[in-house]
Amino acid sequence: QVQLVESGGRLVQAGGSLRLSCVASGRTFSSSSMGWFRQAPGKEREFVAAIRWSGGIYYADSVKGRFTISRDNAKNTMYLQMNSLKPEDTAVYYCAQDRPYSGGPLVRPDEYDFWGQGTQVTVSS
């Protein structure tokens, strides 16, 4: 069983930066694709970014050029560096882990097997 723990969310002013972390338990991290999603009040959970076990990286158009996803397999940790934050980035951010060696598009929540509890990011204007 995989457990994911996010951290790093807080209140920040527009234009500021945050780095979220997601630490995974278990032995499958390095062979699994990982993703970040977010959910604002009253809205559906939406894709933010994903990084494949093989290294491919994908971003939602809304965050492209501002957010950077990365991973450190030695630490079983994934990161999301968020720069130039906007009020519309306010949401609970979730990390998710796919099954090992999966080749799906990684943009749908139902592609992922494991989820963290979320960390709140609030961007004030």
Confidence of residue 110 (pLDDT cuts 50, 70, 90): very high
Q: Which residues in the chain belong to E strands, given as ranges?
A: 4-7, 11-13, 18-24, 32-39, 46-51, 57-59, 67-72, 77-82, 91-100, 114-115, 119-124
pLDDT at 108 over 90: yes
pLDDT at 85 over 90: yes
pLDDT tens digits along 22-33: 999 988 999 999
Alpha-carbon Rg for the chain in angstroms: 13
For 49-68, what is the mean pLDDT?
96
Model pLDDT, residue 104: 81
Model pLDDT, residue 93: 98
Model pLDDT, residue 39: 98
For 36-44, what is the mean pLDDT?
97
For 107-113, what is the mean pLDDT?
94
Whether 123 contacts 116, CB under 8 Å: no
pLDDT at 64 over 90: yes
